């Protein structure tokens, strides 16, 4: 249950602050698994400046025990309905390593005209081989490493080729009418729950803030139960050439939030969302 995870977090914080002397460890005292980090600097290629806005980041091996880090990538297109197999991109053998790939290079890799990758997503998956021959991949990483963005895991990440975004399409105040089911509240689905949310432009092209990623449902369930502070929980919406979705958004427990926006003929917007814990919701937005 999420409440157990929340209590555990509070207990750990209290334990740390209750110690008069810091508990220090040396790296030699800690078993070192095969692990590669990635600090992603840019994950969006601008369709109007393909060479000037490459996907960039820095890979590193904190324990200095990685022999190579193989990078593969797949192309996701047709608004997410189609995708290729993973294709080998490159192998990293020294760390830290400054990673960079342009839109033209990705188009060449998949053998398509560069115009065909506008609005496409690219999912990168990596495999690290240690000096001892052990192999680490997304599939065998501990859940704490893949579930927490603070761990900077360098085994799976996503990028996109984006187009100029029109704020008038999405910015505004909306009445959200939501249905939702939450795992920790079995037999208590909510239907027709109304909440007011606001979507605002940010300083970054194609990114928008949403005042509550759950459209009030986190407050309805977790807030009412006293598990979290009452109120809204802000998130981020991205526009990739007309495809809007929630991105780079995490809840208080570190679960990733998702949400896909569909623009309906009657002017409403349907958002199908949820989190990696398994809670799900659907909201219909009507502009006020």
Task: Quote the domain boundaries for residue 156.
Answer: 33-162
- For residue 13, being part of any structural domain is answered with no
Query: Do 118 and 207 reside in the same domain of the chain?
Result: no
Query: Do 158 and 171 reside in the same domain of the chain?
Result: no
- Ranges of the chain whose pLDDT falls below 50: 9, 12-31
The DSSP secondary structure of 56-69, one letter per residue, reads: EEEEE-TTS-EEEE
Model pLDDT for residues 270-285, shown as the tens digit of each residue: 999 999 999 999 999 9
At 236 the pLDDT is 96
User: Which of 186, 212, 187, 188 shows the shortest CA–CA distance to 198?
Assistant: 212
Phi-psi region of 231 (alpha: psi -120 to 50; beta: other; left: phi over 0): left
pTM exceeds 0.75: no
Runs of H (alpha helix) within the chain: 2-18, 103-110, 143-147, 217-218, 224-225
Looking at the 3D structure of the chain, how many domains does it have? 2
At 219 the pLDDT is 97
At 27 the pLDDT is 38
Query: Do 138 and 192 reside in the same domain of the chain?
Result: no
Query: Do 154 and 203 reside in the same domain of the chain?
Result: no
Query: Do 45 and 149 reside in the same domain of the chain?
Result: yes
At 241 the pLDDT is 87
At 25 the pLDDT is 36
- For residue 274, being part of any structural domain is answered with yes
Which of 118, 133, 162 is where one domain is finished? 162
Runs of H (alpha helix) within 80-203: 103-110, 143-147
Domain containing residue 126: CATH number: 2.60.40.1940
Model pLDDT for residues 247-261, shown as the tens digit of each residue: 989 999 989 999 999
Query: Do 98 and 215 reside in the same domain of the chain?
Result: no
- For residue 14, being part of any structural domain is answered with no
Q: What angle do CA 147, 153, 158 make, to 5 degrees?
A: 85
At 31 the pLDDT is 42
At 78 the pLDDT is 87
Query: Do 190 and 116 reside in the same domain of the chain?
Result: no
Query: Do 279 and 208 reside in the same domain of the chain?
Result: yes
At 146 the pLDDT is 59
Query: Do 177 and 139 reside in the same domain of the chain?
Result: no
- For residue 26, being part of any structural domain is answered with no
Query: Do 281 and 175 reside in the same domain of the chain?
Result: yes
């Amino acid at each position: 249950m999420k409440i157990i995870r929340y209590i555990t977090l509070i207990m750990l914080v209290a334990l740390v602050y209750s110690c008069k002397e810091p508990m220090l460890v040396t790296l030699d005292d800690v078993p070192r698994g095969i692990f590669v980090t990635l600090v992603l600097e840019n994950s969006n290629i601008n369709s109007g400046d393909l060479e000037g806005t490459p996907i960039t980041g820095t890979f590193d091996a904190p324990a200095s025990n990685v022999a190579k880090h193989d990078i593969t990538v797949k192309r996701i297109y047709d608004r997410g309905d189609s995708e290729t197999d993973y294709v080998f991109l490159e192998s990293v053998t020294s760390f830290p390593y400054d990673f960079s790939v342009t839109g033209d290079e990705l188009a060449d890799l998949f053998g398509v005209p560069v115009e065909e990758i506008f609005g496409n997503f690219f999912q990168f998956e990596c495999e690290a081989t240690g000096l001892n021959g052990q192999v680490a991949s997304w599939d065998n990483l501990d859940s704490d490493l893949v579930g927490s963005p603070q761990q900077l895991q360098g085994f799976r990440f996503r990028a996109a080729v984006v187009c100029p975004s029109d704020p008038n399409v999405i910015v505004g105040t909306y009445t959200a009418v939501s249905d939702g089911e939450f795992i920790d509240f079995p037999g208590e689905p909510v239907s027709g729950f109304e909440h007011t949310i606001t979507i605002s432009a940010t300083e970054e092209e194609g990114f928008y803030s949403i005042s509550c990623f759950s459209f009030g449902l986190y407050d309805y369930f977790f807030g009412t139960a006293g598990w979290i502070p009452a109120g809204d929980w802000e998130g981020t919406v991205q526009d990739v050439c007309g495809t809007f979705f929630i991105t780079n958004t995490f809840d208080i427990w570190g679960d990733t939030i998702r949400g896909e926006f569909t623009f309906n003929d009657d002017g409403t917007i349907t958002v199908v969302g949820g989190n990696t814990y398994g809670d799900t919701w659907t909201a219909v937005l009507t502009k006020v």
